Amino acid sequence: MLNDQLINQHEITPLTMAILPNYEANNAKSSHVLEESREYIVHSTPTKVIDNACKFFGSSLKGRIEGTKDISGITHKSPIAVDPSSGMYFFPTASPMNESCSWIAHSHIDQIFPKENNQTEILFKNGKRILFDVSYGSMMNQVHRTAQFRYSLEERINIIRNNVFNNYQYKNQINDLNTQENIYK
């Protein structure tokens, strides 16, 4: 159910499932934001909402796209990590420059179904269904590319965490040995 609430700015959270273009009568561009338990309109395009979210987490959409390219080699319709620490990975349904572009949260997808007329339906984990004017093959490609990018980025993060943790443990072991040596002197 769409709330009557109109919002000038919106911060994406782990509850955000999708950001869809919304076409108002006066041709103003806005977004229909779907969250797990509510929906509302934001007075920005979906791509601008994503860019603002990236900026909130210390980058920009352009920076996130460049990061995706460096990590995975993906250059078109790039999936992005809005905030990898909270699992917020989104992918566009079209070029982000296209006003019909929607952004889908990878972690909220339950199933994807091909439909007639080159359309695809996404069933979200909360039971909400949305029909997109995107072919099933293209949508599945975006889902798979996002999964691969997500895996690659999370592996990099885990390697760094493990190295820091191992280095910390090593330093503590050295300190313990030094302390023991001082006791026995």
pLDDT tens string 104-151: 999 999 999 999 999 999 999 999 999 999 999 999 999 999 999 999
Residue 135 is part of which domain span?
2-177
39 within a domain of the structure (yes/no): yes
58 within a domain of the structure (yes/no): yes
182 within a domain of the structure (yes/no): no
Length of the chain: 185
Which candidate, 110, 112, 109, places its Cα nearest to that of 121? 112
C-alpha to C-alpha distance for 88 and 20, rounded to whole angstroms: 16
How wide is the angle at C-alpha 152 spanned by C-alphas 148 and 157, nearest 5°? Answer: 145
* Higher per-residue pLDDT: 109 or 25: 109
What is the model's pLDDT at position 185? Answer: 53
Which candidate, 97, 14, 23, places its Cα nearest to that of 61? 97
pTM: 0.83
108 touches 124 (CB < 8 A) = yes
* Domains of the chain: total: 1
Residue 7, pLDDT > 70, answer no
155 within a domain of the structure (yes/no): yes
56 within a domain of the structure (yes/no): yes
Share above pLDDT 90 across residues of the chain, in percent, rounded to a whole number:
72
120 within a domain of the structure (yes/no): yes
C-alpha to C-alpha distance for 115 and 53, rounded to whole angstroms: 31
pLDDT tens string 73-91: 999 999 999 999 999 999 9
Phi/psi at 135 (5° precision): -65, 155
84 within a domain of the structure (yes/no): yes
185 within a domain of the structure (yes/no): no
